[in-house]
């Protein structure tokens, strides 16, 4: 394609420089986690090719050492290509091959650019962009879920469980359809939130499982041309050991390379996690509204002034940041879905770069926002007296009188309570229900657990 000027101090070569010039799109380089995973694949490939007798020992060790520097972030400035590039990320594979080859050449005492270690013949041996890139994306994503997201979710689950115990004595009004319902313990609500996060952790593990079947070894179109028959099995074993994720060779290379189904499924699980976090954050924000004109059942930690004009105002900013992250995750989910649907054409998906970037961004943002939500909001929540005050005045306590006065009479009491502002207890007492019966039926604690003595069903 003719001559190409490359910076004198660059480890990359002409192919990388062409890609830099071809794609001046966003100015965003590839994420660190992906570059690290790409280095892992290249290192494991060199070690595997040595084991298979395809590479000389000195050359294989030099490639592995150079790839380790890629993994460690020492060569990040040598990966300048934009996210929005060739759909298979061939440019990035070539970039990695050039950088690792030149650095390995230096390690062997050769001159940069001499191709003592060849980017294609040696660094890319038994590989293709078409199997290396999706492998690196899946490996990076699985490691990010395991190392970042799941620990953040575990911290949130523990924080919610602690709050459930702390808030267990607090009785408050339950709500369905955003309207008053029968009583519930504040601790029971938080037990529900902890259960959502527990399920989210299970779904995060499911996302790892979706990502763990790697397409490496399929080379160009899934057939494995120019690859040793044992290459895929051996390299995936090395990657499992290096990453701590139980990755393995895909049982069907044609499917694994031709689609992004694994990413679509994994991000779908992440979307479910995000939806659970949205519900928890939104509920906590609503219970903290006020402090005077809202529900005011929770006191959220005061993290910063809430207004440049209203003194003393404090806003639920930590929850707001969480919800914005979730909005971004939903957008990324649409991007991954469209990439999987529209990019999978015959033997290759050609929207890998944006799909890989999107899933990694979702994982990283959600992990950070979840940790922040736990630390700066949930762990500092306090219950107020507002919940117990409101539940005593709730018209829905009339439900508990059904066994004594019947549904119709209880309904009249509820409507009168809403109209007059008098409590159900006061109105029932005025109608002649004796104090002993009232105390038995309007025992709020009993109304928060199964039993036939009190209220019947309804929504």
Q: List, by residue number, the catalytic residues.
A: 177, 307
How far apart, in Å, are the Cα atoms of 336 and each of 322, 329, 454?
21, 10, 50
Nearest CA to 197 among 266, 275, 143?
A: 275
End-to-end CA distance of the chain: 71
Give Cα 89 to chain centroid, integer Å.
24
Give the Cα separation of 137 and 159 in Å (integer): 32
Give the Cα separation of 126 and 308 in Å (integer): 61
Give the Cα separation of 346 and 267 in Å (integer): 23
Other C-beta atoms lying within 10 Å of the C-beta of residue 111 = 10
- Name 362's Cβ contacts closer than 8 Å, sequence gap at least 6: 267, 270, 274, 328, 329, 332, 333
Backbone angles phi, psi at 71, to 5 degrees: -60, -40
Give the Cα separation of 410 and 402 in Å (integer): 6
Go through the chain and tell me how many residues it has. 459
CA angle 192, 193, 194 (to 5 degrees): 90
* Residue spans of alpha helices (H) in 310-376: 317-343, 352-376
């Amino acid at each position: 394609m003719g001559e190409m000027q490359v910076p004198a101090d660059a480890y990359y070569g002409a192919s990388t420089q062409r890609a830099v010039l071809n794609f001046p799109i966003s100015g965003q380089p590839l994420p660190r986690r992906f570059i690290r995973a790409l280095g892992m694949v290249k290192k494991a490939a060199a070690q595997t090719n040595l084991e298979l007798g395809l590479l000389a020992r000195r050359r294989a060790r030099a490639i592995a050492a150079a790839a380790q520097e890629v993994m460690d972030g020492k060569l990040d400035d040598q990966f300048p290509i934009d996210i929005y590039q060739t759909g298979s990320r061939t440019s990035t594979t070539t970039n990695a091959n050039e950088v690792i080859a030149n650095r390995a050449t230096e390690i062997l005492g050769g001159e940069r650019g001499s191709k003592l270690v060849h980017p294609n013949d040696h660094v890319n041996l038994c590989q293709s962009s078409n199997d290396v890139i999706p492998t690196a994306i899946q490996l990076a994503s699985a490691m990010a879920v395991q190392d970042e997201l799941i620990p953040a979710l575990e911290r949130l689950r523990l924080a919610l469980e602690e709050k459930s115990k702390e808030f267990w004595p607090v009785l408050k009004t339950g709500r369905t359809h955003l309207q008053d319902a029968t009583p519930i313990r504040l601790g029971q609500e938080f037990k529900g939130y902890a259960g959502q996060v527990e399920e989210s952790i299970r779904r995060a593990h499911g996302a790892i499982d979706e990502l763990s079947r790697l397409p490496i070894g399929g080379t160009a179109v899934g057939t494995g041309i120019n690859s040793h028959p044992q290459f895929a099995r051996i390299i995936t074993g090395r990657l499992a050991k290096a990453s701590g994720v139980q990755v393995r060779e895909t049982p069907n290379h044609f499917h694994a390379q031709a689609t992004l189904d694994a990413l679509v499924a994994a991000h779908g699980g992440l979307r479910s996690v995000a939806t659970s976090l949205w519900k928890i954050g939104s509920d906590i924000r609503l219970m903290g509204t006020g402090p005077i004109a809202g529900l005011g059942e929770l006191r959220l930690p005061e993290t910063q002034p809430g207004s440049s004009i209203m003194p003393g105002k404090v806003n639920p900013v930590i929850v707001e940041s969480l919800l914005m992250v979730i909005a971004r995750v939903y957008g990324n989910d649409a991007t991954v879905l469209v990439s999987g649907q529209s990019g999978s054409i015959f033997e290759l998906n050609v929207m890998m770069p944006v799909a890989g970037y999107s899933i990694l961004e979702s994982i990283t943002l959600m992990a950070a926002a979840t940790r922040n939500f736990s630390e700066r909001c949930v762990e500092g929540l306090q219950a107020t007296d507002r919940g117990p005050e409101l539940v005593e005045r709730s018209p829905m306590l009339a439900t508990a009188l059904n066994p004594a006065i019947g549904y119709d009479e209880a309904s009249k009491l509820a409507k009168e309570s809403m109209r007059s502002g008098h409590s159900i207890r006061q109105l029932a007492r005025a109608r002649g229900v004796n104090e002993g019966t009232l105390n038995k039926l309007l025992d709020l604690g009993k109304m928060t657990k199964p039993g036939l003595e009190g209220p019947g069903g309804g929504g």
